[in-house]
Amino acid sequence: MEKTTENIIFKDDSKQLARFAKALGHPTRIAILKHLENQSCCFTGDLVDIFPLAQSTISQHLKELKNAGLIQGEVNPPKIKYCINKENWKIAKELFQGFFE
């Protein structure tokens, strides 16, 4: 077996922590999450009003946060309501806590 990047075996926790960290690695996404923490939930449009970014860009950031498992969307036609994914949020919190001791 070759020593390629794909074959590096990281501990699952490290990979998961890195995945969460990467999702948090942009100020807009931090701000979105902080907003969700305050508001508990919000619509995409709310964020488009707050941030000086195109709607498609906000959508992309939301997609990344969703892919990382940090948020979840509930269809609420014609809007979509985004909330923190509390289950994964807890996991992330614990991983970061454990990492920083």
Partner DNA sequence: ATTTCCAATCGTAAATTTACGATTAACGAT
Partner DNA sequence: ATCGTTAATCGTAAATTTACGATTGGAAAT
Q: How far apart are CA 74 and CA 83, in angstroms?
A: 8
Q: How far apart are CA 71 and CA 93, in angstroms?
A: 14
Q: Which of 1, 84, 72 is nearest to 36 (CA)?
A: 84
Task: Report what 80 binds from its own copies, DNA, none; CB cut-off 5-8 Å by kind.
Answer: DNA
- The nearest distance, CB 41 to its own copies, in angstroms, is 17
Q: What is the residue whose two structure tokens read 């289950």?
A: 87
Binding string, residues 62-91; x marks residues near its own copies by CB under 8 A: ---------------------------x--
Q: Which of 41, 96, 89, 95 is nearest to 69 (CA)?
A: 89
Interface residues for DNA in 59-98 (CB under 7 A)? 59-64, 73, 75, 77-80
Binding-site ranges for DNA (CB under 7 A): 3, 5, 22, 25-26, 28, 43-45, 48, 52-64, 73, 75, 77-80
